[in-house]
Amino acid sequence: MKIAVFRKEHFNAAHRLFNPNWNHEKNDEVFGKCNNPNYHGHNYELVVRLVGEPDPSTGYVYDMKELSKLIKKHVIDIFDHKNLNLDTPYFQHSNPTAENIAVVIYKLLRKEIENQYELKVTLYETERNFVEYPA
């Protein structure tokens, strides 16, 4: 009896998208306004999905209070009110696109969530642009 449980959290961060191997014109062509050298930012909404079987003694697949604490400790405290390019170690060689941020968050959480639970991450960069990993 597999059930999915979801917990939604949020963080606010600045970022910039550009490829240091490209010249300014190419970066502007590809990334447009997202290439602003002084950064811009977003209110990110994060939804974490775990799949498992409910524990008969609690009725929980996973205690949402614990999942919330775990997301806060391993994701929100690292990304919230930060510059994703400069203040985190994860985007030295890749862009902090929603895609790449979602993969980083997945890896951070995968280490903390027991293997018996399937894990999926959905990240909203805006209400109209969002990503899901793994698809």
Binding site for a copy of itself (CB under 8 A): 1-10, 12-15, 17, 19, 21-22, 30-34, 36, 38-43, 49, 51, 54, 56-61, 63-65, 80-83, 86-87, 94-100, 102-103, 118, 126-135
CB atoms near residue 91 (< 10 Å): 20
- From the candidates 34, 45, 74, 132, give the one annotated as an active-site residue: 34
CA separation, residue 38 to residues 4, 34, 41, 125 (Å): 40, 10, 10, 18
CB of 106 to a copy of itself, least distance (A): 10
- From the candidates 10, 24, 40, 81, give the one annotated as an active-site residue: 81
81 is an active site residue: yes
CB of 112 to a copy of itself, least distance (A): 19
114 is an active site residue: no
CA separation, residue 66 to residues 56, 61, 79, 95, 112 (Å): 18, 11, 19, 31, 11
Residue 101 carries which DSSP code?
H
15 is an active site residue: no
CB of 57 to a copy of itself, least distance (A): 6
Q: Which residue number, 56 or 89, has a Cβ lying nearer to a copy of itself?
A: 56
Q: Do you know the residue count of the chain?
A: 135
Distance of alpha carbon 41 from alpha carbon 16, whole angstroms: 8
- Residue 39 near residue 14, CB atoms below 8 Å: yes
Q: Which residue number, 96 or 109, has a Cβ lying nearer to a copy of itself?
A: 96
Q: Which residue number, 112 or 118, has a Cβ lying nearer to a copy of itself?
A: 118
Active site residues: 34, 81, 125
